[in-house]
Structure 1
Amino acid sequence: MPISPILTGQATYPFVRLNEAATARRAEGLEVIDFGMGDPREPTDPRIIEALRAGVRERMGYPAAVGLPELREAVAGWVDRRFGVALDPDTHVIPTLGSKEAIFSFAQVVLDIAGGRDTVVLTEPGYPVGVRGAQFAGALVEELPLLEENGFLPDLDAVSPETWRRTALFWVNYPNNPTGATAPLAFYERLGALAREHDFVLASDEAYTELWFAEPPVSALQLDDWTNLVVFNTLSKRSSMTGYRSGFVAGDPALIAALKQFRPNVGTAPQEFVQRASVVAWGDEEHVGRARAAYAEKRRLFLELFDRVGVRNAGGPATMYLWTATSRGVTSEALATHLLAHGVIVAPGAFLGDSGEGYIRFALVPTLDECRRAIAILEDVL
């Protein structure tokens, strides 16, 4: 039976091993507190849920790939209020089914393998979807390490002229998963200039811009020139709406036009009732502030714990993640296995990329009570 060698060559998602061990522990009647996966458990605002219900009709046709005009306008309004940037809802924005599918498929839109633009550059450790999407599209993949001594920003000077010549797509993700680092506007300015100079697409995954604890992060949309630039964002983290699957891409109108041509082929647009709920979500900041406050309290409790037990928090001031250093000589998987034996799941940094070794990631998604119970456990075992 013919099966794609790209598919058969994919390693088993490493978190499966942790999930299997957690399932076995639960089968024994033992509690497991899961900080492994970044799936928010904060409640979705009731007004969003009501808009979803109100949007359901007796018959609903296929949603158009370009999305409802009201949703594109809501996205443009939010970007203007949040970043001071004016978007044309008709030419600068297209809704997506969350951001995962859009990130996975985007390499197919911009790669020109026959023309020598066959390379996708990404950073690691990081979200694996961009890598896998590039591989399925037939791209060569080059990963740049995110190192603590560089503030978890990639070393752009380390990219060879040949790589720049072959690059079709360069992915960045700030605020960063897993490190929590943020990027200054100067970083985007330099990378944007490189994108124009070498004619590759700069794609910025900004799913965590609203989960911050010092000052609001910037967006690549704040660049003066959007040539070859697209930004991906989503309601999943901002509004605790992972199950709704609603996001957007915004930026260079030529790239948005290409997406409008591409996306009807794969049929990935949010259902209309989800789009109507999304209009409400993008138009409201009160529920976002509540969620941010909840994460801030969990973060405070864990940072106090780390101070007490001598664990170094190495990460930055944003996202729902804490990126902590392991003890010298202890691998990230060994530490995660040790913590799981006591009922606490964390993500080993090595599962997220080679440069993640020496760190573990806490996703602050359990309830506040669960966080307190986990802290009582960790007090004695970290």
Structure 2
Amino acid sequence: MSETETSLSTIQSPFPRLRDLIEGLKPGASPIDMTIGEPRHGVPSFAADIIAEHWKSFSKYPPINGITELRQAIAVWLTRRYALASGVVDPDRHILPLCGTREGLVSAMTLAAAKKNARGAAVLMPNPFYQAYYAGALTAGCEAVMLPATAASGFLPDLDALDPRLLDRTAAFYIASPANPQGVVATPAYFERLIALARRHEFYVFSDECYSEIYQNEPPASALQVAARTGDLNRVLVFNSLSKRSNAPGLRSGFIAGDAGFLKDYLQYRNVACPQVPIPIQHASVALWSDDAHAAESRALYQAKFAAANEKLSGLPNYYEPAGGMFLWLDLSHLGGGVEAAKTIWKGCGVKVLPGAFLAQPDKRGFNPAGDYVRLALVDPLDVTRDAVDRLASMLL
């Protein structure tokens, strides 16, 4: 593990770094940008109609806890999606709307840290990591502790390697499943062990599940689903949104669900410190969470693109098909690592890929656990994706 000084200088968007890396380099063909994980399958048109129907509600301050219909729709979706017993998720106690998951992943950390009330509280997160996790630790005044998520540990943090003394001062543990960028899925057994540690050492599990509806075969489990088997949702908070599921990142509509005691206090915190979801957006969100057909159609498009990538790129060393998410995580150590490979690929065939090193933090020895990799976002239409993987295959194989 790597314990780092938590400072603003560590929060760097990977995209300006990539721009600087390839500045002045001429692409080898017409550019295809595979760096940004922005869904492009299109927002269901019925959402626009609902927003238009309720447009006059933009004149009102939205309730911070959301309209009743939205909390109910989310509770019904969670119950349906994860085969939960009726009543396990109470829409009035276990759910709060968010302005997208990122807003909640950052702001909820402040409350988790306050509840820990421990000097030098730590926040654990996988490395590579989503920058919002680090921002949450920084905002809360906690120490960010990076946990290597490499091929050796199945691309998830090794729970057996955690020092009990570190866990005792931990306020929260960020986990993403499906993981960004590796696309691995935490098993129910993994979640069960993590939740047990959280309860034993009194920290919160912050489970980022925004890619839960993009998967290849089996639908991923949820930390909420596993917690429910124990009889309560204590110490577990899950985050999800419509950004990936409904191809609506600009809608900024998500939720946090789980520990009722935490959410009771978080509601009070949000009431003075956080933004509300506009009422017309909430009404559109009700319809989107209530409809599974559009999510299934979008998932099928991703599956077709992964099939195209598998066909062309499976001969690469250490290639694997991710279980979920929208990214390929390619080991290009044979090309000198991700940074050098990104330049070589750009100059050779015009495909823009993101070096894995830009998504991770080096440890004290200078080792970057993502240094060998590049990330490819399969968000373009199938024909563009096929063109891109054809170019990559001609270069890399």
Asked if the contact 1:117–1:165 (Cα under 8 Å) also holds between the matched residues in 2, the reply is: no
RMSD of aligned residue pairs (Cα, Å) = 2.2
AA partner of residue 343 (structure 2): T
Superposition pairs for residues 150-189 of structure 1, below 5 Å?
Answer: 150-189=153-192
Say how many residue pairs are matched: 376
AA partner of residue 102 (structure 2): K
- Map of 1:261 onto structure 2: 268
Superposition pairs for residues 1-382 of structure 1, below 5 Å?
Answer: 9-10=9-10, 12-19=12-19, 31-57=30-56, 60-85=59-84, 86-112=88-114, 115-116=118-119, 118-222=121-225, 223=227, 224=230, 225-307=232-314, 310-314=316-320, 316-328=322-334, 330-341=336-347, 342-353=349-360, 354-382=368-396
Distance 1:288 1:23 in 2: 37
Distance 2:60 2:206 in 1: 31
Asked if the contact 2:64–2:270 (Cα under 8 Å) also holds between the matched residues in 1, the reply is: yes
Distance 2:188 2:16 in 1: 37
Q: Given the superposition, is the C-alpha separation of residues 267 and 141 from structure 1 closer, same or farther in structure 2, using an over 3 Å criterion?
A: closer
Identity percentage over the alignment? 35
Distance 1:337 1:22 in 2: 6
Asked if the contact 2:28–2:346 (Cα under 8 Å) also holds between the matched residues in 1, the reply is: no
- How far did residue 259 of structure 1 move? 1.3
Q: Given the superposition, is the C-alpha separation of residues 23 and 184 from structure 1 closer, same or farther in structure 2, using an over 3 Å criterion?
A: same
Distance 1:200 1:108 in 2: 13
Instruction: Give SS of 2:74's match.
Output: helix
Q: Given the superposition, is the C-alpha separation of residues 44 and 11 from structure 1 closer, same or farther in structure 2, using an over 3 Å criterion?
A: closer
- How far did residue 369 of structure 1 move? 2.0
Q: Map Cα deviations across residues 54-89 of structure 1 (whole Å, 9 max, x no partner).
A: 221175211111011000000001001100223111
- How far did residue 346 of structure 1 move? 1.3
Q: Give me the TM-score of the superposition, normalised by structure 2.
A: 0.89
- How far did residue 180 of structure 1 move? 0.5
Distance 1:22 1:331 in 2: 15
Q: Map Cα deviations across residues 274-329 of structure 1 (whole Å, 9 max, x no partner).
A: 1111001100011001100100111111111113x535424531111111111436
AA partner of residue 76 (structure 1): A
- Shifted more, 67-76 versus 49-58: the winner is 49-58
Runs of 5+ unmatched residues, structure 1: none
Instruction: Give SS of 1:126's match.
Output: coil
Instruction: Give SS of 1:123's match.
Output: strand
Runs of 5+ unmatched residues, structure 2: 361-367
Q: Give me the TM-score of the superposition, normalised by structure 1.
A: 0.92
Distance 2:190 2:266 in 1: 26
Q: Map Cα deviations across residues 140-189 of structure 1 (whole Å, 9 max, x no partner).
A: 11111112122222111211122111101111111111111011111111
- How far did residue 117 of structure 1 move? 6.1
Asked if the contact 1:145–1:355 (Cα under 8 Å) also holds between the matched residues in 2, the reply is: yes
Distance 1:114 1:233 in 2: 27
Asked if the contact 2:58–2:279 (Cα under 8 Å) also holds between the matched residues in 1, the reply is: no
Distance 1:160 1:37 in 2: 35
